Amino acid sequence: MNCKLTIQESDARIPQSKIAGVYDLNAPVYDIWGTLTESNARQRAIDLAGITDGLNILEVAVGTGLAFHEIVKRNPNGSNTGIDLSEGMLSRARKRLQGVGMANYTLSIASALDLPVKSSSVDILFNNYMFDLMTPENIDRALEEFKRVLKLGGRLVLVNMTKGEKHGSCIYERIYRMFPALMGGCRGVVLSGSLELQGFTVVSREYYQQMLFPSEVVMATKAA
């Protein structure tokens, strides 16, 4: 059963200027949420990306490193860059990566809207649960940046909170309506249309639901 409540994509309630503060506060408990409701989709994205060792990989909005530590393990001789707006989230990612015991990565503060990365240099760009908290204008701006930094034929692998397609998923839209900060500012989005408009080729879109929480896993490539 589809979710009948539909929050519009224009309804992003936490401005980018407040995101770092919100996630600094959420950081101590984020992994509980991120594991219980998002781990299946996040793992699928990593598997789908087809990482082979030696690539130049960028993860934007790396958070506490739930995906990044797995990416670094699969790309030990490549280059792995993680960026995020929140120092609270990044400091947890740094602790998590100490356990991996490799030095071929960097973690730093930067914005998806202005990536400190050379044009046409990235083989795979990961981005999990970020577009669902952005305005349509910032979604387009971040996608332009993603397209700029990816190599031709490079892969973009995204996970977003999406619109519910199965029974029970509406509960998260209800919570967002009342307490957007409790949802980290995230509401359901469907990104394939924006990707195509920006000139990406969408290769696949899969729907996942975990603890009733609806996610999409999207794989796209940068076309000529």
Among 7, 12, 19, 55, interactor with ligand SAM by CB under 6 A: 19
Q: Does 149 bind ligand SAM (CB under 6 A)?
A: no
Residue 164: burial class (beta carbons within 10 Å; 0-12, 13-18, 19+): buried
Q: Does 48 bind ligand SAM (CB under 6 A)?
A: no
Structure tokens at 73: 């393990």
Nearest distance from C-beta of residue 42 to ligand SAM, angstroms = 6
Give residues with Cβ within 8 angstroms of 118, minimum separation 6: 149
Nearer to ligand SAM, 56 or 128 (CB): 128
Nearest distance from C-beta of residue 85 to ligand SAM, angstroms = 4
Three-state SS string over 72-117 comes to HHHCCCCEEEEEECCHHHHHHHHHHHHCCCCCCEEEEECECCECCC
Nearer to ligand SAM, 3 or 142 (CB): 142
Q: Does 113 bind ligand SAM (CB under 6 A)?
A: yes
Structure tokens at 43: 């793992």
Q: How far apart are CA 83 and CA 165, in angstroms?
A: 31
Nearest distance from C-beta of residue 166 to ligand SAM, angstroms = 21
Among 12, 34, 139, 222, interactor with ligand SAM by CB under 6 A: 34
Q: How far apart are CA 157 and CA 42, in angstroms?
A: 10
Size of the site for ligand SAM (CB under 6 A): 23
Contacts with ligand SAM, residue ranges (CB under 6 A): 16, 19, 23, 34, 42, 60-61, 63, 66, 83-86, 89, 111-113, 128-130, 133, 184, 186
